[in-house]
Amino acid sequence: MSVQWTERDVLAVVEDMRRYGNDTSLVEVKRAAGGLPGLAETMCAFANMPQGGTVILGIDEARNFAVVGVDEPGVLVQGLIDQARSLVQPTPQIEAYPLEVSGAVLVVAEVQALAPTQKPARTHGVPYLRQGDGDYEMKPNDIHMLNVAALNQTERQVYDSAPAPGAAVSDLNESLVKNYVHVARASSRRLASMEEDQLLRVTSVLNGEGVPTIAGLYALGEYPQGALPALGVTAAVRMPRESGERSRNLHHFDGSVAVMLEEIMQWVESNISTVQVYRDDGHLIHRPEFPLSAIREIVANALIHRDMGPDTLGVGKRVEIRITSYGFIVESPGGLRGISQGQLHGPELAKAAVNQRLYEIAKRLRTGEGTPVIEGEGGGMREVFAAMEEWGLPEPKLFDNGTVFRVVLRRVVKAGSLPKAEAAPRLRYDEEQLKSVSRNAPSIVRSLMGGRQLSVAEISQETGLSSTQVRYAMTALMRENVVRMVGSQGDRRTWYRLVD
């Protein structure tokens, strides 16, 4: 039996609903003024979720989620149980009980998740799953993913070690392979003595026939999306309905894992808002609305731990990133495997790689700036929670329905209320301060001194940095209002200069 809800629990959920305007993924509220509403689809969907869900009767969404209570809680409790027994097969366990909140009596019904081997639950022969704040009819590939989740680890197919369709060694990026081999040899005495071909095989970059695996192509390929288009990432700023626009700054990212991670972070920094905050010493500063370290961890996790089976990769499901009025959202195909949501941010160190071979390869990947793509310690999401808490932001929302995993960083201020263009310069051209922005920032700033205006190509030529390294550092310098862009992003005629 689970721990029953308390008045404080309900009020916390109600506050969340009032702030963000709808039910949550794991909680459904109903007014129930005219008796018990039809809840078969919702209970069915909750039964198919990894952690179940909760129905609360006596809350009026139309009145800003007012706690109004119900007239006959005992009748509703029995009605919920009867409805589940008669309409949902297999019937999930329902724990329903009355609860007094703010002087009104509500009915709370906790729907327990079915065992993996019992899923999916159906109502009128149709299986449902929770998505966002609603219930939707499951598709065949969703059902297959639940069936796969019910298999023992030894029975599951290992997708990331399968040969990438139509791929050859020539599809790997020579520079990425060279850096990978260097890091791999430095990390292991056994790998240090191996020839390159053998090293690539034993670390699953290549299979026994010398063909790049899906993991190897994704991590080290020049263009992995040629063989597997769904290995790309789509990002966009979703506009409010009243704006007349659906989205803005839509971008499709491609390339290897490390390349996409860098480019996505540049896009994020250009599209999230800037806020004013007071430091402990009383100084007012500008900073991104979300900690970039948290966003980087979330994006890297999505890239590495996305599902690579035929039900996701095979049908074109890719990692999706959205910036909305609600917050920053990253959605990754496939649910959690071998770990629960609670373990992700609990006190105990816990890790479970969905793609074990890709995960091991990724621990040896480096970005253009030389930083690891992932640390490989298994505590990344705990750091996300810690960073949000340190900045005084709401706790991240995690959602897992077995077919998709979503992380949401929620806003506390209206996006765009403090345009970046109005930010005052925060940094002088001090070497150590610049290094704290980006390792390559000092050399870029030196190249722009004396009132010079240079393009990315010219800066790259003068500093010896790659264009990717220049763009990465330039994004950070523009965020700090040290450098200003003259022109538009992506235009070859764009120049950069120091802020006066």
pLDDT digits (tens, 9 = 90+) for 297-319: 999 999 999 999 888 998 899 99
Task: Indicate if 290 and 352 belong to the same structural domain.
Answer: yes
pLDDT digits (tens, 9 = 90+) for 210-228: 999 999 999 999 999 999 9
H runs (alpha helix) in 57-211:
73-87, 140-149, 174-187, 189-192, 196-202
Q: Report yes or no on 192 lying in a domain.
A: yes
Q: Report yes or no on 1 lying in a domain.
A: no
**Domain end residue (candidates: 82, 114, 138):** 138
- What confidence category does residue 277 fall into, taking pLDDT thresholds of 50, 70 and 90? confident
Task: Indicate if 390 and 431 belong to the same structural domain.
Answer: no
**Domain end residue (candidates: 391, 422, 453):** 422
Nearest alpha carbon to residue 222 among 250, 258, 197? 258
Nearest alpha carbon to residue 234 among 293, 306, 179? 306
**Domain end residue (candidates: 374, 402, 422):** 422
Q: Report yes or no on 436 lying in a domain.
A: yes
Beta bridge partners of 24: 27
Cis peptide before 224 (omega within 30 of 0): no
Using the predicted structure, report yes or no on whether residue 415 has a pLDDT greater than 60: no
Would you say the C-alpha torsion 414, 418, 420, 426 has a positive or negative sign? negative
- How far apart CA 210 and CA 223 sit, in angstroms, is 18
Task: Indicate if 181 and 196 belong to the same structural domain.
Answer: yes
Task: Indicate if 194 and 128 belong to the same structural domain.
Answer: no
The CB density around residue 252, as the number of other CB atoms within 10 Å, is 12
| Residue 286, pLDDT score | 82
Nearest alpha carbon to residue 481 among 433, 429, 424, 428? 424
Domain count along the chain: 3
Question: H or E segment at 391?
Answer: none
Task: Indicate if 397 and 461 belong to the same structural domain.
Answer: no
Domain that holds residue 453: 425-498
In contact, 250 and 239? CB cutoff 8 Å: no
Region 430-456 average pLDDT? 80
- How far apart CA 108 and CA 88 sit, in angstroms, is 18
Question: H or E segment at 110?
Answer: strand 104-111
Q: What is the pTM of this model?
A: 0.74
| Residue 425, pLDDT score | 39
Angstrom distances, CA of residue 68 to CA of 18, 26, 48, 103, 161: 15, 21, 30, 9, 55
Task: Indicate if 191 and 299 belong to the same structural domain.
Answer: yes
- How far apart CA 279 and CA 269 sit, in angstroms, is 21
Task: Indicate if 433 and 414 belong to the same structural domain.
Answer: no
Task: Indicate if 441 and 486 belong to the same structural domain.
Answer: yes
Q: Report yes or no on 409 lying in a domain.
A: yes
Q: Report yes or no on 39 lying in a domain.
A: yes
Q: Report yes or no on 2 lying in a domain.
A: no
Task: Supply angle C-alpha 378, 380, 385, rounded to 5.
Answer: 135
Beta bridge partners of 496: 454, 485
Region 94-109 average pLDDT? 96
| Residue 271, pLDDT score | 92
Q: Report yes or no on 449 lying in a domain.
A: yes
Question: H or E segment at 275?
Answer: strand 274-278
Region 398-411 average pLDDT? 90
Q: What percent of the chain has pLDDT over 70?
A: 87
Q: Report yes or no on 109 lying in a domain.
A: yes
Region 89-106 average pLDDT? 96
Query: What average pLDDT does the chain have?
Result: 86
Task: Indicate if 243 and 346 belong to the same structural domain.
Answer: yes
In contact, 286 and 274? CB cutoff 8 Å: yes
CATH number for the domain spanning 240: value is 3.30.565.60
CATH number for the domain spanning 488: value is 1.10.10.10
Task: Indicate if 165 and 300 belong to the same structural domain.
Answer: yes
Tokens of 495: 């120049």
Task: Indicate if 276 and 403 belong to the same structural domain.
Answer: yes
CATH number for the domain spanning 92: value is 3.30.950.30
pLDDT digits (tens, 9 = 90+) for 348-386: 555 667 899 999 999 999 988 888 998 876 678 888 999
Q: Are strands 104-111 and 53-57 parallel, antiparallel or unpaired?
A: antiparallel
| Residue 494, pLDDT score | 76
As to burial, measured by CB atoms within 10 angstroms (0-12 exposed, 13-18 middle, 19+ buried), residue 377 is exposed
Using the predicted structure, report yes or no on whether residue 187 has a pLDDT greater than 60: yes
Between 248 and 329, the more confident residue is 329
As to burial, measured by CB atoms within 10 angstroms (0-12 exposed, 13-18 middle, 19+ buried), residue 449 is exposed
* Residues whose CB is less than 8 angstroms from the CB of residue 192 and which lie 6 or more positions away in sequence, other chains included: 185, 186
Using the predicted structure, report yes or no on whether residue 114 has a pLDDT greater than 60: yes
Task: Indicate if 292 and 221 belong to the same structural domain.
Answer: yes
**Residue 487, by phi and psi: left (phi above 0), alpha (psi -120 to 50) or beta?**
left
Nearest alpha carbon to residue 44 among 141, 143, 166? 143
Region 402-422 average pLDDT? 63
Angstrom distances, CA of residue 347 to CA of 107, 146, 336, 392: 33, 29, 18, 20
- How far apart CA 384 and CA 390 sit, in angstroms, is 10
